[in-house]
Amino acid sequence: MQVLQNLINGKFVDVMTSEKLDVPNPATGERLAQVPVSTARDVDEAVVAAEGAFLTWSRIPVVERASYMFRFRDLLESHKEELAELVTKENGKNLDDARGEVRRGLEVVEFACGMPTLMMGQVLTSISRGIDEEMVRYPIGVVAGIVPFNFPFMVPLWLLPIAITTGNTMVLKPSERAPLSAQRIVELLLETGIPDGVVNVVHGTKEVVNRILEHPSIRAVSFVGSAPVAKYVYETAAAHGKRVQALAGAKNYHIVLKDAPLDKVIPVLMSSAFGNAGERCLAGSVVLVENEIADDFVGALQMAIDKLTIGNGLDPKNELGPVIREEHRQRIIGFIEQGVSEGAVLVKDGREAMKDHPGGYFLGATLFDRVNPDMTIVKEEIFGPVLSLMRVNNLEEAISIANRSKYGNTSTLYSESGHSARVFRETIQAGMLGINIGVPAPMAFFPFTGWKGSFYGDLHATGKDGVEFYTDKKVVVTRWLS
Ligand code: NAD
């Protein structure tokens, strides 16, 4: 049985702990590996390594730092099928989704290859007679990344390539529920010949996170995960003087207007709501449909759900894989029960599929109709294959309901009307918008711009925000006297 090791100063090392957690394949329950629960001392060792490496790595020319990313990109590209399989095995999403995840992670590495351009400062000559002014950027020091289970390959790569090509060194804490992809990422990174200590990995749970948040030598923390933990990370790390970006949970509203072509909308919404078993921070989880088309829409959704194939994501015929753990499945079932008790109409009950798929943490697609904005299933993030449908009179009503949400990660409008799309863009309170796009994930060169309770901080992950987050600026005003 593989027991994962931490990566400290370029070497994989055993963790001195008796506490280990199983990492099962959620499709079968079979144990894939064990992950050690590291302690604060392990974090301290990783930080010492990162601090030591920073002294030289930060002074290596940025073109040279970027050259490691070119090699890294080639290695990831040549291992992409193996990596996608690993994502499917540890997370449960189907192979197509896992391939997409690998692609999106690779794109950030490609983005970081351009760091010599991205890190450039600004110059303005003659701000006054004979005086010039320039702004130059520097890496900030040791930074930390704390990541979730749902994109175990992509999310570490939202952070790592930008953090290190800007000249920082890093301590990464993978999700204890899906740590294998992050482990493989750093194995491949070491193959590029990157200097020891530039990236360190500490596996574990709360204790590791708490030490990261308090450690005096860590300058910045990037967190991606659930809303309560994001808030805690933001507040604690900020109280310890750190720069923080904390990407949090979500509840995403999709709006379907009567002019939208139903046959085209259904597959897009199905993939948004039930792809990755609904375990996406950009998953559509509430759909607001104009009254005139609502009955037809529910009928078409029901038919599409009936056709969904459920099973192990390694089999290409399967569309809906398992959720991450039995406890998580039980939590989702709790939400379904609550929806029923609060009076929502259960059109499709995903629990029925469970008996046909023993062994893994499978749950069929669930559809609720006639929900209202005060129901728990509408307000809280379920993070599973559950879609709630609400009937509305028009776009304005839909937007005002969506804007009551405490979250604001993403929202999608289905319509062919430019006017409606403009009203939607101008008034919806969410940071990533789709117009007929079910999962409007920004590309690596754009920021991942959650709003409201979906994000804590100022500078978002990826894009130029990522470069800003991982750099300090100096402004120099110059006058030559002779
Ligand atoms: P999670 O919050 O449980 O875990 C995220 C990280 O925090 C893990 O590394 C975990 O070990 C650590 N952690 C968990 N509980 C902790 C605690 N009490 N104290 C300290 N550290 C703790 O999140 P998850 O379940 O792994 O991931 C799913 C969540 O992440 C969903 O809410 C999803 O919406 C969110 N997410 C958000 C984005 C985004 O961009 N906004 C992207 C991906 C996932």
**How far, in Å, from the CA of 216 to the mean position of ligand 1?**
23
Residue 129: what pLDDT?
A: 97
Residue 364 and residue 353: Cα distance in Å, rounded?
5
Q: How many residues does the chain have?
A: 482
CA dihedral 29, 32, 33, 35 (to 10 degrees): -60
Q: Which atom of ligand 1 is nearest to the CA of 149?
A: 26
User: How would you classify the pairing of strands 169-173 and 199-201?
Assistant: parallel
Matching CATH number, 252-435, of 1.10.3720.10, 1.10.1200.10, 3.30.70.580, 3.40.309.10: 3.40.309.10
Reported pTM: 0.98
Residue span(s) of the chain under CATH 3.40.605.10 come to 6-248+454-479
Spans of the chain, pLDDT less than 50: none
Confirm or reject: Cβ of 461 under 6 Å from ligand 1: no
CA–CA distance, 277 with 225 (Å, rounded to integer): 17
Tell me the two tokens of residue 196.
């020891």
Atom of ligand 1 lying closest to residue 409 CA: 41
| Cα dihedral 41/42/43/46 (nearest 10) | 130
pLDDT score, position 460: 98
Give the number of the atom of ligand 1 that is nearest the alpha carbon of residue 250. Answer: 34
Q: Residue 204 CA: which ligand 1 atom is closest?
A: 11
Ligand 1 binding pocket includes 248 (Cβ within 6 Å): yes
Residues 442, 222, 406, CA angle at the centre, nearest 5°?
65
Q: How far is the CA of 176 from the centre of ligand 1 (A)?
A: 10
CATH T-level fold of 6-248+454-479: Aldehyde Dehydrogenase; Chain A, domain 1 (3.40.605)
**Cα angle 193-113-65, degrees, rounded to a multiple of 5:** 40
Tell me what pLDDT residue 1 has.
Answer: 85
- Please list the residue range(s) of the chain that carry CATH number 3.40.309.10: 252-435
Among residues 98, 185, 281, 323, the one annotated as catalytic is: 281
Q: How far is the CA of 275 from the centre of ligand 1 (A)?
A: 19
Cite the beta strand spans of 382-454 per DSSP E. Answer: 386-392, 407-408, 410-414, 432-435, 451-452
CA-nearest residue for atom 39, ligand 1, is 247
Q: Is the CB of 204 under 6 A from ligand 1?
A: no
Cβ atoms of 328 and 320 within 8 Å: the answer is no
What's the CA-to-centroid distance between 181 and ligand 1, angstroms? 16
In terms of DSSP bridges, do strands 142-146 and 169-173 run parallel, antiparallel, or are they unpaired?
parallel
Instruction: Say whether 281 is catalytic.
Output: yes
226 Cα: distance to centroid of ligand 1 (angstroms): 4
For residue 148 and ligand 1, the question of a CB distance below 6 A is answered with yes
Identity of residue 188: L
Q: For residues 27 and 88, give the distance between their C-alpha atoms in angstroms, rounded to a whole number.
A: 9
Best substitution site from 4, 101, 224, 407 to test ligand 1's pocket, by max atoms within 8 Å of Cβ?
224
- Kindly state the percentage of the chain with pLDDT values over 90: 99
